[in-house]
Amino acid sequence: MSVFFYLHFADEDGIAVAWAPDDHELDNRLASGGWIDDWKPLKFQLDKGVVVDYLPNSFAYRLCSDRLRQVLDGARGSVDTVQWLPAIVTDEQGKEHSYAILHFPEVPNVLSMTKSVLTGPMIVKAFLDKRLVEGHRIFSFPQETVRVVIAGEVKANIESSHCTGMKFSRVPVA
């Protein structure tokens, strides 16, 4: 049976945070899923701190460096659907860093509905169904812009690539 993990932003002191003006329309657009064809690179301003591969940001989007993007792209399953939306992060010295928002235009039906805890459409506690999750390596859930679920081998690839700015917690599989 495969092991799965949530990919979280690290909660370490000294990590820089990327800031952009609030945009509720953009939040709704990303949360609703589907392919986004008319994307313009989102621009962030970086505050003081260490720049990491999984960069915390004012939107709480999945903001990934090029290095992390390559690791995730190389490890995803053939059934996983992802879209990378360009973002530009400018540091305090004015240097631009290339990042991308990990967007899931399609999300798989992988939840065990008998074990998962839901409140309406919101997932309180997810349990993955071991039969439904087969073949998946990186995915999210409906109406989500933050959570990322990765297979154990993807976690191992991230760690061996020395990507920074994240921590992991196990997702139960039933």
Q: Which pLDDT value is given to residue 29?
A: 83
Rounded distance between C-alpha atoms, residue 90 and residue 99, angstroms = 10
Calculate the alpha carbon distances from 17 to 3, 49, 63, 70, 118 in Å: 30, 8, 11, 22, 31
Considering the entire predicted model, what is its pTM? 0.93
Q: Which residue has the tokens 């928002």?
A: 101
Q: Which pLDDT value is given to residue 83?
A: 96
Structure tokens at 46: 């970086």
Element of type H or E holding 73 = helix 66-75
71: CB partners within 8 A, 6+ apart: 154, 157, 158, 161, 163
Mean pLDDT, consecutive 10-residue stretches, the chain (174 aa), reads 91 94 83 89 94 95 97 95 96 95 94 89 90 95 88 97 97 94
Quote the distance between the C-alpha of residue 21 and its chain's center: 20
What SS3 class is residue 136?
coil
